[in-house]
Structure 1
Amino acid sequence: MTDASLDKPDIVLIVTDQQRYDTIAALGASHMDTPNIDRLAERGVTFSNCHVTAPSCVPCRASLFTGYYPHTNGVLANGQPWSRTWVEDLANAGYRTVNIGKMHTIPYDAKAGFSERYTVENKDRFMEGRWYFDEWDKALASHGLKKQQRVEYRKRDDYRDALGAFLWELPEKLHSDNFVGETARWWLETKPVQEPLFLVVGFPGPHPPYDPTPDYAQKYMDRDLPLPEFTDEDAAHLPPPLTEKRLHDVEVDHDSVAWKLNPTRDELHRMRAYYYANVEMIDRQVGGILDTLEARGRLDNTIIIFTSDHGDNLGDHGLSQKWAPYEEVTRVPLIVSAPERFTGGREVDALVQLFDLGPTILEWAGVAPDPTFEAVSLNPALEGRAFAGRDHVFCEQGGDVNLTGASFVTMVRSDTHKLVHYQGADYGQLFDLQADPRERRNLWDDANAAPVKAELMQVLMNWHIDSAVATRNARRLIVAPQAEVAI
């Protein structure tokens, strides 16, 4: 392979939805079978300390595809409109830009810089976009079927005890993750493409409802699995917004998850078994995509990225799903595999943020990233050059229907400590991540921790000031012109 042929690599970005870091065998999850993602890790570079900029889908994805923090681009919660992306820069540089699966732009079918989009959205759209029919809806309808969803799950006798875990009872090939994976393979096998390719494959899983096919579900039901430990003492130490979130999630069944304050061990085991089964189903589809790329003859010149938009508490801290910036939510897998370009089998443990992929990808395509980006390139680490990473990573969540007790939440994390700030409140959270990696002992009011707390509060203030100065002349608007925003 010549140097010239490496100038414009194909780039395949695989993004799952709500996948924790501790769900990949090669990254230490001994309870998992993920041979295909393992193959990427073994041949690639793993960023083992990658954190999202927002603990929910839409603001995280808007941040990833714009290069700005949520407070800069204005997308702070689910349901808020965004559609302008740096993907346009790749298209202008000669790339065929394709999205198959979930992107979670608002509106769902915004062009977002792609020349082709095959949109698949959440498995359960109820409060938002319920009557938007995506490619998956159409495929089910062509078979005289409709997707399993909240209005149907609610009819089940075990709905209040299932914690969002339900078997997929329709044809296997029509499961959302199978449908997205097979659609990606079909496109790669049939579409003639001469220009370099940027392909985003967005899997809807393992986001709830946790809905594996019976064979995968039973496999994990038969295993001993790591289960959450949450005590009355832990509950008493939660800040008020998270206590309110626990109650809210019992009353409102977001994404078909009817939460319980005190689920049984059997209920937690089933929820996690189904979640892990969803992950392995995605792994199988990743393997199919890799095989298709190899058969296409372009694998050697393809950079493959595997990641997720955030994690899932799965009962840790007594919480359902996301929105709270614990490690189970903010830390995600990030693997970059391109053995012809980057020495594989390496782990980079420096702090990075998921949206740092933006300038990294643009540089691969020979495009200079926007100088106002708050994201920074990961290429020094990939190329084996000196790379210190970030001193701190940040995560923020604006008002959301799922986080009713807080108007704005901001997290700052160093290598050793994490601080969570609740706007307008005299309470907060502070954790010593070395002594307390499970984040169970809140040091906010601990006098001995006051210097660390003050330091991180200062970091948080400086971050906002520096962000305002650095991006004041940002040229990029991420909400499309009015003509494109029709829903």
Structure 2
Amino acid sequence: MNPPPKAGGLKTSLRAGLNAGMAAGLVLGLVDGVGAGLRTGTHGVVDWLGCLAAAGLMYGLVFAASGLLLALGLHVWLRKFPLGERLSRVLALLLGLGLFVGLVWWTRPWVFPGLSVTDPRRLAVSAVLLPIGIALGFVIVRLGARLPRGVRWAGAALVPFAWLGGGAFLYSTSSDTGELGRVNDRTRALPNVLLFVCDAMRADKLGCYGDERVQTPRIDALAKEGVVFERAFVQAPFTGSSFGSYFTGKYPRRHGFVRMAPDTRMAPNVTIASHLKDAKLVGGGTLERDDYHCVTFMTGALSTSAGLARGFDSYFESFMGHHLVDVDDPWSLFSSELLLYIARTKLAQKFDATPVASEASRWLRANGTKRFFAMVHLFATHTPYDPPPEIRALYNDPDYKGPVSVFRSDHAFAIHEGRAKPTEADERQIRDLYDGGVTYTDRQIELVLRELEAQGRLDDTLVIVTADHGEELGEHGVWEHNHMYQSNLRVPLVLHWPRKLPLGKRSDALVESIDLLPTLCDVLGLELPVQAKPDEDEQGRDYGKIDGKSVLPLLDGRASAIREFSFAENGIEMSVQDLRWKLVVPAVDGDNRPLELAGESLESLSTRGIARPRLYDLENDPQERANVLEKAPDEARRLLAALAEWDASLPIPRLEILMSERDVTENARRMAELGYGDGVGKDLPKAPEKQ
């Protein structure tokens, strides 16, 4: 009878842990790598194999170290087993832990979405997923043990090949962005451009727009030394369409980003960033690809998958957990989708309350001498309203004892659907939290600008502060955005570049988000972009037209106005306004079918639409409290004619606009108010689907 094999001591456990870690790292790295490659669209056999090998290497290093630590901690349990058994058990635990992390991450969109991983509900889910992951790890190891010995040895042999191949690939493909944005004769006289887009920030909450309570010293200082536009409006009260208009100079139903949905991607358009790669100079010559380093620092309400990042050389996405990605480096792009790197980025964010501003500051510290176009997307004024304690103390009532400590989007939905009714104290608390977010945004802008000042480059930089939309704070019985009130449509717009722009100038002319691209072209001396594809399709619809206009004529005395009307739309309504009057009309009927305004009158819209048309006298009623349609019908008809003409001029039909969940809720609420709780016209045919 053969004696049982000797179990061995700590050295044997550590050997088992090291081998198990390298094996687990290779398996998890290859599995995660395949998903990352598919999500990033990795091309070419060399890049695919190189990135997969590098993923196996990086996972292997992390899990080898984890295996050693795990073996050390579990040695008292492991020492009674021989080497092979120790290796199997450590391997099962490591695979289980890796699967557990993957389950926690990839179930986020469906299990308590939007909540922090430290929220008690998410922790409870994690407590359930942990044993599931560990059990799966043991099942995988047990199944693997049934494979032929040759297959198992071949798998083990892959580890050194992956490490060597991955190391060689990383060494050979590291990108160098140092040449991007190097100042040359074409760009020496041109400024940098730093665009701050403050998500959901209302204009009337800033000191430079008249608010005396909320502290925004940095934005106010920019306004004092720059230009303030009193009547700046977005073309849609939600993020995707507004960003599309900023970047392309087009109305939403021309640039194509008309749906705020996870699978939405903007059609190919020339954007500010892509235009800076080959724009023609007004005085002759052409910008070249490397003349500007284009970089965007995004919170994550939008991601690069939406198509809005066209032309950017580098991007950072906070919510997605993507580190700063250089788009021309296949490994930088590939690794941003690896869970290992996402976890590292998200962990770092736990120790940084302002990850977007901090990343932008670090990038400027290393690249401030370049010519750059940088966008910084800040999110503190968007739900959840959750400013840090030191800022809360500036606004929130210390004696408030109600349930609102953070205000989230699901809270707003509960109010709109009648499932929650905040008290006056609750509403004050919500508004105070929002005000804290405004101050927090200002401090993040200060953090970024301080870096430029330290390098003496602020005077070389055109700084723009604006928002993609505003925010409703219960003034009309609704909250958040995607509403057609001025609180949603009017946004701040501050331009600061003392070398060329006037100091302390205020303009009350109508300007729109579509004016940003033409204005930048005017400032930089660039011709407007021309679509590479034909502007018109077979039906004569013009997709290439730039709708916006430069605002510079308003500042140098060449013009007192650049447009008569400002237009906006969402899934259920459309609006038009001039300097005094504003008309809001329904854009769909009770069955959510789009209405053709060219064939409608105020009377027909009142009976067929989901809500009656509303006319506001903004001069005497800036809060939009009274519908004066019956008192000024001629003004309403004049505005309706302008709106119908604009509607008909856009190439993308209203059928393309997807109603959001918020739109559906609002539609149902308004139908109920009109006495049509079950809708109207249910027996009529639905609008045809697009062919």
TM-score scaled by length of structure 1: 0.74
Query: Offset at 1:222?
Result: 4.1
Per-residue deviation, 1:257: 3.9
On the 8 A contact 1:7/1:366 being kept in 2, the answer is no
* Residue 364 to residue 375, structure 1, CA distance change in 2 (3 Å): same
Q: Compare relative contact order (CA 8 Å, sep 6+) and give the higher one, 1 or 2.
A: 1
Contact 2:234 2:491 in 1 (8 A): yes
Residue number in structure 2 paired with 1:107: 305
Structure 1 counterpart of 2:233: 51
| Higher fraction of strand | 1
The residue type equivalent to 2:645 in the other structure is: N
| Cα drift, residue 332 of structure 1 | 0.3
Pairs within 5 Å for 1:282-297: 282-297=441-456
8 Å CA contact retained: 1:62, 1:105: no
Task: Tell me how far 1:136 sits from its aligned partner.
Answer: 11
Out of 509, 516, 519, the position equivalent to 1:350 is 509
Kindly indicate whether the alpha-carbon contact (under 8 Å) linking 1:310 and 1:332 is maintained by their aligned counterparts in 2: yes
Give the Cα–Cα distance (whole angstroms) in 2 for the partners of residues 136 and 51 of structure 1. Answer: 39
> Could you say which residue in structure 1 is the equivalent of 2:659?
none
Match of residue 346 from structure 2: 141
- Per-residue CA deviation, residues 188-216 of structure 1 (Å, 9 max, x unaligned), is 0023654x210101112210000111111
Contact 1:90-1:362 at 8 Å conserved across structures: no
Inter-partner Cα distance in structure 1 for 2:207 and 2:245: 28
Over the matched positions of the two proteins, sequence identity in percent amounts to: 30
Change (3 A) 1:30 1:219: same
Count of residue pairs the alignment pairs up: 391
Deviation at 1:435, TM superposition (A): 2.3
Query: Which residue is equivalent to 1:434?
Result: 619
Find 1:189's aligned residue among 365, 371, 385: 365
Partner Cα distance (1:102, 1:112) in 2? 17
Following TM superposition, by how much is the alpha carbon of 1:108 offset from its aligned partner in structure 2, in angstroms? 5.0
3-state SS of 1:49 partner: strand
Counterparts of 1:136 and 1:333, CA distance in 2: 36
How far is 1:60 from its partner? 1.0
Q: Is the 8 A contact 1:419 1:428 kept in 2?
A: yes
Q: 2:318·2:355 contact (CA, 8 Å) conserved in 1?
A: no
Looking at structure 2, the residues matched to 135 and 271 of structure 1 have their Cα atoms a distance apart, in angstroms, of: 37
1:421 pairs with one of 585, 608, 611: 585
Q: Which residue of 2 aligns with 1:395?
A: 568
Distance 1:114 1:179, change over 3 A: same
SS in structure 2 of the partner of residue 324 of structure 1:
coil
Matching residue of 2:207:
25
**Helix, strand or coil at the partner of 1:317:** coil
User: AA paired with 1:435?
Assistant: N
**Residue in 1 that maps onto 2:551:** 378
The answer (yes or no) to whether the contact 2:265–2:307 under 8 Å persists in 1 is no
Distance in 1 between residues matched to 2:527 and 2:487, nearest whole Å: 34
1:297, distance to aligned residue in structure 2 (A): 2.3
TM alignment of 1:57-206, pairs within 5 A: 57-79=239-261, 80-82=264-266, 84=269, 85-92=271-278, 93=287, 94-102=291-299, 104-105=302-303, 107-108=305-306, 111-121=309-319, 138=343, 141-143=346-348, 171=351, 173=352, 175=353, 178-191=354-367, 193-194=369-370, 196-206=371-381
SS in 1 for 2:570: strand
Q: 1:87 to 1:134 in 2, by over 3 A?
A: farther
2:340, 2:355 → 1: CA distance?
A: 9
How far apart, in 1, do the equivalents of 2:257 and 2:206 lie?
Answer: 30
The corresponding residue for 1:228 is none
Deviations 1:396-416 (A, max 9, x none): 113xxxxxxxxx321101111
Partner of residue 439, structure 2? 280
Higher fraction of helix: 2
For residues 339 and 361 of structure 2, the distance between their equivalents in structure 1, rounded to whole angstroms, comes to: 18
Contact 1:63-1:73 at 8 Å conserved across structures: yes
Q: TM-score, normalised by structure 2?
A: 0.53
Flag the 1:454–1:135 CA change in 2: closer, same or farther, 3 A: farther
Corresponding letter in the other structure for 1:433: L
**8 Å CA contact retained: 2:199, 2:382:** yes
Q: Per-residue displacement from partner, 1:99-144 (whole Å, max 9, x unpaired)?
A: 0124725625864210111123499xxxxxxxx899996456335x
- Please give the alpha-carbon distance, in whole angstroms, between the structure 1 residues aligned to 2:519 and 2:498: 17
Residues 46 and 135 from structure 1, CA distance in 2 versus in 1: closer, same or farther, beyond 3 angstroms?
Answer: farther
1:215 maps onto 2:375 in alignment: no
The structure 2 residue matched to 1:455, chosen from 638, 650, 654, is 638
AA paired with 2:259?
A
Alignment CA distance shift 1:363-1:265 (3 Å): same
Deviation string for 1:367-409 (max 9, x for gaps)?
21136200111121233432313211000113xxxxxxxxx32
Distance 1:390 1:207 in 2: 30
Instruction: Give the Cα separation in 1 of the matches to 2:373 and 2:207.
Output: 27
State the superposition RMSD in angstroms: 2.9
* Compared CA separation, residues 214 and 382, structure 1 to 2 (3 A): same
Residue type at the aligned position of 1:209: P
CA drift of 1:362 comes to: 2.1
Which of 472, 488, 500 in structure 2 is aligned with 1:313?
A: 472
Q: Distance in 2 between matches of 1:393 and 1:254?
A: 28
**1:245 corresponding residue in structure 2:** none
Contact 2:384 2:409 in 1 (8 A): no
Q: Which has the greater radius of gyration?
A: 2
1:6-25 alignment, distance < 5 Å: 7-25=189-207
Alpha-carbon distance between aligned partners in 2 of 1:298 and 1:287, rounded to the nearest angstrom: 14
Distance in 1 (alpha carbons) for counterparts of 2:436 and 2:556 = 34
Contact 1:121-1:204 at 8 Å conserved across structures: no
Task: Tell me the CA shift for residue 62 of structure 1.
Answer: 1.1
1:222-251 Cα deviation digits (max 9, x unpaired): 499xxxxxxxxxxxxxxxxxxxxxxxxxxx
Q: What 5-or-longer segments of structure 1 have no aligned partner?
A: 124-131, 146-169, 225-252, 399-407, 470-487
Residues 382 and 116 of structure 1: is their aligned pair in 2 closer, same or farther, counting only changes over 3 Å? Answer: farther
Structure 2, unaligned runs of 5 or more: 1-184, 279-286, 322-336, 400-407, 531-544, 590-604, 607-611, 653-691
Is this contact kept in 2: 1:118–1:135, CA < 8 A? Answer: no
Please state how far the C-alpha of 1:256 moved relative to its aligned partner: 5.5
Amino acid at match of 1:360: T
Q: Which has the higher mean CA deviation after the structures are superposed, 357-366 or 33-42?
A: 357-366
Residues 22 and 66 of structure 1: CA distance in aligned 2, closer, same or farther (over 3 Å): same
